[in-house]
Every structure is written in C-alpha cells, then in structure tokens.
Structure 1
C-alpha cells in the first residue's frame, strides 16, 4: 500500500527584510524571481497599498523554498525596486472577509518573527490529500480542512497559475491559533500538474529540496516523534540520537537539543521546538563548494562531511548542500 505523503512540497523562510533576503539568497547561488507584493484598498474607495505578506520562491522541478516577509501598514521603504505589485480585486461586499484573512496571515508572520527569523513553515507533498486528511482525522490529528488556492508556476511559456490543494494541521494544545503547531505552520499540499514547470537553473547547482531538520527538547523527543508519526503515516528510524522519517524522495529529521551541535557544529536552536535547517541536493558538491567560497559565503561541515551555510550567515536557518544521487 502506498503512502499518502511522498516528500516535501516546500519550506517557508520567514524574514524581516525582503531586500536583504534576496541579496543573501542570490549570493548563495539561488535564482529567485522578483518578489510579489499584494496590494488592495483597506476600505471601499481607498487607493490600493501593499498589505499583509509578500513572497518569492526558489523553484525546483518538484518543490520549492518560499521566502516570505510581513508587509507593514502602508510602509514601502522595505519593498525592493523590482518587486511585482499584485492588485487584489474583490467586490466591496467581499472586502471585509479578505481583509480578515490577510490580517490572520500577517498575525501568524508576526508571531513567527517574535520567536525568531528563520524557517517556520513545512508543507509535505501528497499524491492524495483527501486520503491524507481522512488518515489524520482517524488518528485524532485536527486540521482546518482541504482548501484550494492558485500558485504561480514558471513554465517555458511564462508564468501560469496552477491549483494547489492544501490543509494545515492544528495543535492539540488549547489556546493556540488554528493552523499552527508549536514549531510553526505544518501541513500537506497536493499540486496540480507540474508537467509544464520550467527548470530553473541555480548557479550553485541546486536541484531539489531533500530534507528539513527540527530541533526539540531532549525530554520532548518521544512525544514529538509520535506526533510526526501521525502526521506522516510512518515510523521513524534511529540515526544516532536523532530520529529520521524517510519519505519517498526526502526526509524529516528530529534532533534533540543536546545532539544538534554534534550534527551541525556551531549551531544552536533559537527556540524549542524549531525548524533549524533544510538541505538541497546539488549536481556537483565540489563545484557548489567552490562557488560558495568564491562568493564569500561562510561554510561549515556537518558530522556527515557535507558543507552547510550556518544559520547566522543565512538569516536564521542553516542550509545544507548535499550531493545528488
């Protein structure tokens, strides 16, 4: 019987300043399109202005990294010169509902940044999100139901919108906002067809998002392992002191706080639990290392001998570069 979770759909890096993030990611050798900033009037008859959240993406053929920031009330001083302003047009009677939804997103981002700048979002990929939703419910995992949105996909013929069905997992803790668990926003997404997605060439040779790593308090590791067994529908395996969930084409690793520095020397968790690192596969690890060193990027080495950019040099999340294959 196949699993209803196949891999990583995307991770979300929440940053304080989009212009700084664009410069850093491009220094790291990732190709990103200009960020999108939604604009809309805050009341009927008012002029549109940037509002809520803005984002851009590091695209791979099967998944992506989202870079997202909070847009201040009417503030434009932090909007990059090449930003794409996207007008959101809705009938006047629908405006209050949309404003409320955007304010909810903004509140979530504010809560993330109060904790720390870094990775706060992990979405798993599913070939059968309805089956995944039913399995979660059977296992007592709350979620907000399956929703559909449109996301931009870069194709050989330009950008087109592709439907994405997703759900967000709720915490079992009383008083926590819907769609949030202690480590951030975790959910499942099912893409529409990606057959037409254009392959984006990244100067650092990156080809796929292949791992996310979460640091947890040592005493909480068994409980969080059980929680993710329910999320992912499979058991973890022991990997030293860590626990790893092997997906079809990616993995999720839970690391006790006491073992983090052993796996990623020099790293520490900004809070617990927290997503502390993600890994991308690259065509030629040696070439990637040469590129990063030539770009002046600080590098360290994992316990497994892979290069990584420390969180302090990557706006709050360690980025591991792994040889593909």
Structure 2
C-alpha cells in the first residue's frame, strides 16, 4: 500500500500589503493573478461583505505558492481584488463565519510574529486514510473538510472540489489549526484535466521543498512530530533532519546552523519556515532573468540559485535545476 502523503500541496506567505506582495512576486518572475476575497453576509438577509482573507496563488505544475492577507469584516478589499460570493444556508452561516474568522485570527497571529512563510500544506492521494493514520498516531486535527478551490483553465478561473484537514498543536490551550511554526495541514484535490500552468518568466515548474528552522534543543522533538505527521522517518545529518517525500523534501534545521546552510539568514523568531524550493527547467535562464530584473541572489552550489528572504516576502527562494 502506498503512502498517504505524496509531496507538497502548497506553501503560504502571510503579508500585510497584498498589492506590494504581488508586485514583488511579479518582479521575481512569477505570473500572479489578481487576488480574490470571499464575501459573506454577516447576518441572515444582510448584504455580502468581504470577510476573512484575500489571497492569490502562484500556480505551478502540481502545486502552488499562496500569498494571503487578512481582510477585516467590512473593510475595503486589496486593490484589484475580485470577490467570490459564498452561498450558504442561513442556518449554516454562523458556523461558517466563526470558521472564517478563526482562520483570519490565526493569520493575524502569524503576521504579528513577522510577515513571511507561515503555511505548509502536504498533498495526499487519500486524505481519509491520512486522517485515520493521524488518529492512530495520536495526532490531533480538525477533521476532513470539503471546500472549493480556484484553478486556472483554458476558459478562465474555475472552482473545483478539494478536501483538507488542519493539524492541531498538542500544547494545552493552543488555538485549533495553529502550531508553533504556523499552519500545517494536508489536502487532497479532485483530478482536473483542464489545469493550465501559466508560464513563469523565471522558469518555475514545481514546488519541491521547504525548510523549517527550529531552536537547537527542539530539533529532536520537532523531527518526532513531523515523523508522526508524515508517517515516515527523517534522515538525520548533524544539525538537519530531512524528510524525503515522493517528489519533494521537508528539511528541519537547527537555528545555529541556518547561516551556514541554504537558504541562509536567521528568521525574526523560531520556529519558523525560512524558505522553499522551486524546480526550474533551465537554471541558466533563471539566473539571466533575475540578473536582468535586478534581483539579488547567490549560487551556493551548482544547479541552485538562492534569492534571500529580504527580496522575497520574508522567505528565501531556492531555484533548483529540475531533474524531471
């Protein structure tokens, strides 16, 4: 029987200014659609209003990078954002509003720590089996929920079914859906043939890795947590613990070693996601684009280019030559 975690579904960066974030990502060579924001009535019969969060996705071949910002109830949406009205029966409205506001509160708490990468969602071919395994391992989660997510097709944006769960902290009194490092979960998408990956000027193809920085003395316990989340053992190498998924890696690194390892740079607080890796078809063309755009970068090893967190919304990007 195959594993119930295949790779990375998406990573998410929480930002304070969506317009500037979109501009930054486009300068980095990503194709970024306008942000979207759900609208809901705040009471039965009331007019729909923006609520919760506005986001946009950098779509890749099998996954994406999410850019998200908090939208206070009734406040203006980010410039250029489009609305997605949510149709919900009156009796379900209070529960949905509570869930949306709870998620927004989690995002606000992340942003209060620092703007940057606070979301990591794993991809699963069978989320119900993943949920059952987490139950057996004693990992708390919020259960499997059905949602709609946007995808880009030849005919424009389309909403398709998806299922997800959020992993809860085992610390007493911790809010649901929030771990010390941010929001962690698992998602399963329905198969969609019409998905069209937009072309990216930097040559981006797939999201293939992320790096979590933890306090040195917490590395063994964090590795144990992620072994339970992922259902597999970590490979240990000094100050790092690496999980090899089917088509991606998750690396935990001790804080004292971060300056000496890609992506480098100490985060404002730990634990924290400090970077993610994007596969590209032609690393030379990626470097050529970044140089022409005036984006600072380094080349720590052959086949890799690192854009520092200061240039990339608080999380370093490792562009890596694709082997597929």
- What is the TM-score when the length of structure 1 is the normalising length? 0.95
Cα distance, 1:130–1:39 mapped onto 2, change above 3 Å:
closer
SS in 2 for 1:154: strand
Q: What SS does the corresponding residue of 1:11 show, helix, strand or coil?
A: strand
Q: Which residue pairs with 1:324 in the alignment? A: 322
Structure 2 match to 1:214: 212
Contact 1:213 1:254 in 2 (8 A): yes
- CA–CA distance in structure 2, aligned partners of residues 192 and 92 of structure 1: 28
Equivalent residues of 2:239, 2:254 under 8 A apart: yes
Quote the Cα distance in structure 2 between the aligned partners of 1:229 and 1:223.
10
SS at match of 2:66: strand
Report the counterpart of residue 251 of structure 2 in structure 1.
253
Q: Secondary structure at the match of 1:120?
A: strand
Deviation sequence 1:288-311 (CA, Å, 0-9, x none):
011011111111233677211111
Question: For the structure 1 residues 266 and 230, does the alpha-carbon distance in structure 2 shift closer, same or farther, using more than 3 Å as the test?
Answer: closer
CA distance in 2, matches of 1:186, 1:301: 30
Where does residue 69 of structure 1 map in the other structure? 69
Aligned residues of 1:264 and 1:301 also touching (Cα < 8 A): no
Residue 199 of structure 1 deviates from its aligned partner by: 2.1
Q: Which consecutive unaligned segments of at least 5 residues does structure 2 have?
A: none
1:31 alignment partner in structure 2:
31
Q: Does 1:122 align with 2:120?
A: yes
Mapped to 2, the partners of 1:20 and 1:253 lie a distance apart of: 29
Matched, 1:2 2:13: no
CA contact 2:263–2:318 (8 Å) conserved in 1: no
Q: Tell me how far apart the structure 1 counterparts of residues 28 and 86 of structure 2 sit (CA, whole Å).
A: 32
1:1-325 alignment, distance < 5 Å: 1-76=1-76, 79-80=78-79, 82-264=80-262, 267-302=265-300, 306-325=304-323
State the distance in 2 between where 1:33 and 1:276 align: 24
Q: Displacement, 1:252?
A: 0.2
Q: CA RMSD in A?
A: 1.6
Deviations 1:163-206 (A, max 9, x none): 11111111110010112211111111111003221121111100
Matched residues in 1 for 2:35 and 2:230: separation?
31
Aligned residues: 323
Give 1:40 deviation, angstroms.
2.9
Q: Whole-Å Cα distance in 2 between the matches of residues 145 and 41 of structure 1?
A: 26
- Matched residues in 1 for 2:225 and 2:62: separation? 26
Matches of 2:199 and 2:308, distance apart in 1: 23
For 2:190 and 2:182, how far apart are their aligned partners in 1? Answer: 25
Give the conservation status (yes or no) of the 8 Å contact 1:169–1:179: yes
1:100-127 CA-to-partner distances (Å, cap 9, x unmatched) read 1221111111111011111111111111
Determine if contact 2:146/2:162 at 8 Å carries over to the other structure. Answer: yes
Q: CA deviation at 1:45?
A: 4.6
Per-residue deviation, 1:4: 1.0
Contact 2:202 2:290 in 1 (8 A): yes
Structure 1 residue 44, shift from structure 2 partner = 4.0
Runs of 4+ in 1 over 4 A off after TM superposition: none
> What 5-or-longer segments of structure 1 have no aligned partner?
none
